[in-house]
Amino acid sequence: MSKPLKIGIAGLGTVGIGLINIFNRHDEIIEAKAGRAIQIKAVSARDKNANRGADLSAYQWFSNATEMAASPEIDVYVELIGGEDGIAYDSVVAALKAGKHVVTANKALLAHHGSMLAALAEQHNVALNYEAAVAGGIPIVKTMRESLTGNEVSRVYGILNGTCNYILTLMEQEGRPFDDILKDAQDEGYAEADPTTDIGGFDAAHKLALLTSLSFGTQPSFKDVYIEGIEDITSEDIAAARDLGYRIKLLGMSQMTDSGIEQRVHPAMVPKHSTIAEVSGVTNCVAVKGDFVGDVMLTGPGAGAGPTASSVMGDLIDIARGLVVPPFINPAKDLKPYKNAKTRAHQGGYYIRLDVVDQIGVLAAIATHMAEQKISLKSIVQKLEEGGNTDKEGATIVMITHATLEQSIRDALAAIQKDGHLVGKPQMIRIEQL
């Protein structure tokens, strides 16, 4: 019988305790599947005396995670601290330099430092596994690193943040405004006290940067992800999408073009009866388009103690079996620098909502600016209403465009704003025909 694989866990929040619970419940199953025992030898967290609902007395305690990462007592360092820098970064580097395998759920760390960490892991012939960093319990990293390697990938996209999907789902189902649903999400534990990382699109962008690298053999490049959040989505937008036959989702999308890669996170309208439109609540999904396999979509829980810890355990079992592969499929030295695509026509068109002061000539001026930018309008609807933000009678104008350049849309909206007819900011949402 092979000797046990000894691990140290840094970070004893919901995922860390969830991982310990899996060991406590399934130790015999794990040993049978891994071919040898996997044993927790050490743990580390900020507060040794915190009540975590789990017995940690059998494990060596380290107050310093970096010290534990390099300890001869462990073979694998499990990093569940989070954050792109600080102790998470220092401890993972220490573990790799000490020849320890690393398993992490830290998407920010890898999105910012993935190329360097991959090179360090390969230099020391150890694994850097991160299934839990992308879409929680969905096994998308393993699928792309193993099952789909015979394909040339042209596009990867999905719903990569459960908090945003939960908010948008309830806005549609209950007709309540964004702020009300956000408060509910915080009360239910689906959103943090400071929700900026989630609702601002940054969490999804971290995950997309990793999916892009896996798809196209490039160095992870979070700084090149175009990011929009969902903070400006209104009940009116949700209702308009429904009337037009769409739902609004926060999507992460990356696709290869002739001039480079498009990598973007933003709200989008998707056809109401498409598969991705049916993904509701806190559920995530990831879709990959390969030249031989076609379209593959994986759906499941994107966060939570159980699903995320399950992915961590899968990575540990791979290491116990002796499976060590380059973190981003291609060896780190062969990862290509990321190259942004040139601006090009958006194939699905755009939804545009303008709240305007109801005056003669406003609609004509808007149409003129659109024509100046060679934007073809599929439909235009004007609804009169009592101005919500002014004492004047106002109107809402909703337009749907044919496929056009995004820069043309932005230039037209800038000109319309300059005219002074708008009440508040214009709303622009891409329409994706997925």
Task: Report the relative pairing of strands 153-159 and 283-290 from DSSP bridges.
Answer: antiparallel
What pLDDT sits at residue 188? Answer: 81
Query: pTM of the prediction?
Result: 0.94
pLDDT at 384: 66
Q: Which helix (H) or strand (E) holds 128?
A: strand 128-129
Nearest to 93 by CA among 73, 72, 123: 123
CATH 3.30.360.10 is held by the domain 140-301:
yes
Q: Is 397 exposed, middle or buried (0-12, 13-18, 19+ CB in 10 A)?
A: buried
Return the domain boundaries, the chain: 5-133, 140-301, 345-431
Which pLDDT value is given to residue 192? 84
Catalytic-role residue among 107, 207, 249, 289? 207
57 to 10, 301, 335: CA distances (angstroms): 15, 31, 43
Q: With respect to CATH, is domain 5-133 assigned 3.40.50.720?
A: yes
Structure tokens at 290: 């390969």
CATH architecture of the domain formed by 345-431:
2-Layer Sandwich (3.30)
Separation between Cα atoms, residue 434 and residue 431, nearest integer Å: 9
342 annotated active-site: no
Q: What is the DSSP letter of 254?
A: E
What residue ranges of the chain have pLDDT lower than 70? 1, 384-393
Burial level of 170, CB count in 10 A (0-12/13-18/19+)?
buried
350 token code pair:
């755009």
Residue-wise over 209-237: b if at least 16 C-beta within 10 A, else e?
Answer: bbbbbbbbebbbbbebbebbbbeebebbb
Distance CA 147, CA 142 (A): 7
- What integer pLDDT is reported at residue 358 of this predicted model? 78
Take residue 121 and report the two structure tokens written for it: 């892991």
DSSP code per residue over 41-58:
EEEE-S-TT---SS--TT
Cβ atoms within 10 Å of 189's Cβ, excluding its own: 9
